Structure 1
Amino acid sequence: MTPGSNLPLNAVRVAVDVTAPVRLDVSGLLLAANGKVRSDDDFVFYNQPSGPGVTHSAAAGGADTITVDTAAVPEGIEKIVVTASPDAPGATFAGTEPTGTVRNADDGSVIASFTPPRLGTETALVVVEIYRRGGVWKVRAVGQGYADGLAGIATDFGVTVEEPAAPAAPQAPPAPPAPPAAPAPAAQWGPPAGTPAPAAPPPAAAPPAPAADPAAAPASGAGKINLDKGRVSLQKNQTVSLVKGGRPLLTSVTMGLGWEPAFRSKSIDLDASVIAYGPDRKKIDNCFFGKLMILGGAIQHSGDNLTGEGAGDDEAITVHLGGVPPEVTGLVFVVNSFSGQKFSDVAKAYCRLVDAQSGAELVRFDLTHAEPRTGVMMAKLIRQFSGEWEMTAMGEFVDARTVRGMVKPAAQAL
């Protein structure tokens, strides 16, 4: 979804998960026709986890969830707004854009997802709203930020926020009278009186910093670059940090994969997939033409292309980075020849990472040398301890016609 867009809900009970690379406090407010809560009982959050038709739940180490049972919401309530704020005091959303995922609360299927764009100094956010219009319940993407935290949102919607009174400053006791000056004792640990103190030794000279390499990308395998200079073309084994202007890219990206049949060869059926791994290199799930959505909608596949014909990407996999569960630390993008033809019969195979909101190409990797095998690991995305993601071009060939045969070699390549 994009800011302001809406769609009807196809479920009576819906759950809104809000995820981010940092811990969030997520709340739900039940609003009447005047846009205000009827009382503080309509403010649902971790310390008051239930209200009329609305509940709050928190998963250990995972997303906070606001669940709305539209059949149980009182008639006087027109909408439920779902808000989020960073748990750390004074923290902002800069570089940590959250993702709201709306699911059918009964079967877990994803209805919609929304990642608010261009967040910065905001300390709280209205993510989405579930609202009633003409007897039909809908969901709207909002993305409105607040600079004064969750208290600012609550106050705007009529919740009473009591500020704790500042304690009175204690009076300082009167200073005791100064004791009479004592005669200076003879020096015991220093040099004789009148001896100048030795000068401090000069600090050791720091080694000169190496000169910056003006090249846009280092030699293959020589290091990492970021997105500050715009689109990056990678060679095999090169890595790019998905960081621009010092901020991690934590929005939705699409990995587009494309290929063309080699000269005079038949159409070739290639399948693009992504495999999600945990920190122990154990497979968590995989997304391919037979399973178009995984991880609660955080990863979505465009569908199967049977020939590779046509301009542009043949298959695409969209990743909502902010919605990828914290237990997923690595994603490996692979392509397989389901029909059994070798990659030596493929021309112009490539993968490219695109900003899903703006359509701007961020990273591109062209596979220049193919091998007569049926599977290739194109690229991997690895989550760093600091929260940002890194993309590494792989170009490693294996013998496997389906994504199932890629799980073990891809794990070994992480």
Structure 2
Amino acid sequence: MTTVLAQGGNAPLGSARVVVEVAAPERLDVSGLLLTAAGKVRSDADFVFFNAPQGPGVTHRPAAGGGPDAIAVDTAAVPGEITRIVVTASLDDRRATFAGTEPTATVRDADTGRELFTFTPPRLSRETALVVVEVYRRGAEWKVRAVGQGYANGLAGIATDFGVAVEDAAPADTTADAATGSSPAAPPVPAAPPAPAAPPTAPPRPSAAPQGPATPPPMPSGSPAVGKITLDKGRVNLVKGGSVSLEKAGRPFLASVRMGLGWEPAGRGRNIDLDASVIAFDAQRAKIDTAWFMKLSVFNGAIAHSGDNLTGKGGGDDEAITVHLGGLPPEVCGLVFVVNSFSGQKFTDIKNAYCRLVDAATEEELVRFDLAQSEPHTGVAMCKLVRQFSGEWVMTALGEYVDAKTARSMVKPAAAML
């Protein structure tokens, strides 16, 4: 017989191996975090999700065959210092909220498939991510608790709250109002922050070239100064190390651009999950911010990421990053666009990788760089945009491989490429 849990309710787990399924009318990303008695992960390896599906005693199971995303827990294999596993859900559409799409968690016996518990949180509103349930240790016994704690800042907010080193995530006190159970094990829920300013759809084109910073950014190697390549003659195909000025008829040509990045699996039937990001630097090559799949908007929307592509399949760009050049803070002097394999797949497993610069207003492709060679590394810096002292932007094709699984690990090598 299935037990229906109310928010804050708990019960003995009754099975050593369980699967926690989370389903909703909209597509979800489900994750699990292994926490110590301090309420924190031991390291980022205790964050189990679609890009890192294996943890000690905890496994992410992607949606398949009509079944939802799930987290499997083998309590006998969970390390002794781990006291609880929290199961989270975030919406695949990171612009949406859980209002009207409350998820239902179903806990099943992993060996028999028998339904043990279900839980649906009370009506939600502006939450974009939830701690749905937790499987926790009480002495020698394992139990399950219905939590239903909402966060207004997505999966990054949850991950940060529990100690995952999320790149430039918002502070962990930006949870939404949804109440947790009364148990002391459940984390407190601070007041929700004010809604962030809406990102600009396209900042107005400045009447003159934007004023450069007091200290000019470093001129990239190969950046044209005399006889430079511009957009006057139309689309430009770059080779590694080649540069093009985003000018036409001697004047800044673009207000908003989109960097499209794409790739294909090298082998049949294999999914390739790569993550595109852009790292913003100041004139001294110090990182200012990063836009990536867990932080889709920076600088009040002046840079906007399209979201994560989990397979690399399909036509067109796999991921895209839009940059409203006129909306960038004046201290932003360099942007480096990188692609990483968080799961450790090498770039020898992909083919036809490219980046292309598109006029965001007209959809016209302006610049293209096809990565000619693959190397057995987990990261690549595809290209950079550098603002010159005059306000002119120059794009340079990089194609430099690095052993780095995350954008965070790309910061130092990317800075050196400016």
* TM-score normalised to structure 2 length: 0.48
* TM-score normalised to structure 1 length: 0.49
User: Which protein is bigger by CA-based radius of gyration?
Assistant: 1
